[in-house]
């Protein structure tokens, strides 16, 4: 006990780590990349749009004070071949990877708007309007992308002293909600959560820890905002704004509130956590259910 350091930088420090964040150009991914870089990590951010990645890297770079940096790595996680290309590009620059953050995600909205979720005809019309491609692209990125990124990063992760993988899922994978998100998105995130379980077990021989975080409402392109400034909660779509107000905290999450838990899992302080599932949602999951956000008949209230 006398040799143990309880200094914050020793318990939660990430200085010197090599980190890769998929979907790191905007929203939650950008917040996570900012947290690592501002605390001395070398962070690679991936995404389809190189211009967005470059802008993000430049803006975060102005905030770093501990030798951290952000490096754009253009790439797509929707196919095995595309992920292999990312791995090759990363391997041309680095030999090891300390922390992999699988954050890239997509949500395909209902093709037909449901104004009344208790109207069977509207519900039927929306469900029948769902196409194969809605399922395919959602699962390709939210599920397959997590699997392939983790798989092809194993050769780099196994060279780290304490390798860590963090998958960003969603409370949509846990809550049976109707007013927020789409059915295809919720199913894909439930799969992401279970995939995290399976990967944690499968990667045991490599001593690579795998944990999953389920965020609630955070400013992002998915909630109607780029998530790039402190005031972006004001730019969220109407449904996301209202859902955030229904959390016990009564607001959307802030960038540091998602970066912190991720860095915990990737730091010395999180090394005893494997196959953990964290909800970072301001308490929203407690109230999220089939009637959340839906106006019910007056006689049903107590």
pLDDT per position as a tens digit, 272-296: 999 999 999 999 999 988 988 888 8
Closest Cα to residue 240, out of 214, 255, 222? Answer: 222
Contact between 93 and 87 under an 8 Å Cβ cutoff? The reply is no
Question: What pTM, to 2 d.p., does this model score?
Answer: 0.94
C-alpha distances in angstroms, 19 versus 22, 61, 256? 10, 15, 17
What is the rounded CA–CA span in Å between residue 24 and residue 16?
A: 19
> 102 CB contacts (<8 Å, ≥6 apart)?
22, 145, 146, 149, 150, 165, 166, 167, 168
Q: Output the pLDDT for position 230.
A: 43
Domains and CATH numbers, the chain: 8-288 (3.40.50.720)
Q: Output the pLDDT for position 65.
A: 82
Q: Output the pLDDT for position 3.
A: 83
The parts of the chain modelled with pLDDT lower than 50 are: 227-234
pLDDT per position as a tens digit, 80-114: 999 999 999 999 999 999 999 999 999 999 999 99
């Amino acid at each position: 006990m006398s040799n143990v350091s309880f200094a914050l930088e020793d318990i939660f420090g990430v200085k010197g780590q090599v980190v890769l964040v998929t979907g790191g150009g905007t929203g939650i991914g950008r917040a996570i990349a900012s947290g690592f870089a501002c605390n001395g990590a070398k962070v690679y951010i991936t995404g389809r749009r190189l211009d967005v990645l470059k802008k993000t890297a430049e803006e975060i770079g102005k905030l770093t004070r501990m030798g951290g940096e952000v490096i754009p790595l253009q790439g797509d996680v929707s196919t095995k071949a595309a992920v292999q290309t990312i791995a090759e590009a990363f391997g041309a620059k680095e030999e090891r990877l300390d922390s992999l953050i699988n954050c890239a995600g997509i949500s395909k909205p209902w093709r037909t708007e449901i104004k009344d979720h208790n109207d069977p005809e509207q519900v039927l019309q929306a469900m029948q309007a769902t196409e194969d491609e809605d399922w395919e692209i959602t699962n390709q990125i939210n599920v397959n992308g997590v699997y392939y990124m983790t798989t092809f990063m194993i050769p780099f992760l196994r060279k780290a002293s304490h390798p860590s993988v963090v998958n960003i899922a969603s409370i949509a994978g846990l809550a049976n909600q109707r007013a927020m998100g789409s059915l295809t998105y919720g199913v894909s995130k439930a799969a992401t959560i279970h995939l995290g379980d399976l990967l944690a077990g499968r990667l045991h021989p490599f001593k690579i820890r795998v944990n999953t975080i389920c965020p609630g409402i955070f400013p992002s392109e998915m909630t109607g905002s780029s998530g790039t400034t402190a005031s972006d909660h004001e730019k969220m779509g109407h449904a996301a704004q209202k859902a955030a107000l229904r959390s016990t905290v009564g607001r959307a999450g802030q960038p540091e509130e998602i970066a912190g838990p991720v860095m915990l899992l990737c730091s010395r302080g999180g090394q005893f956590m494997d196959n953990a599932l964290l909800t970072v949602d301001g308490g929203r999951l407690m109230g999220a259910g089939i009637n959340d956000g839906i106006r019910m008949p007056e006689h049903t209230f107590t």
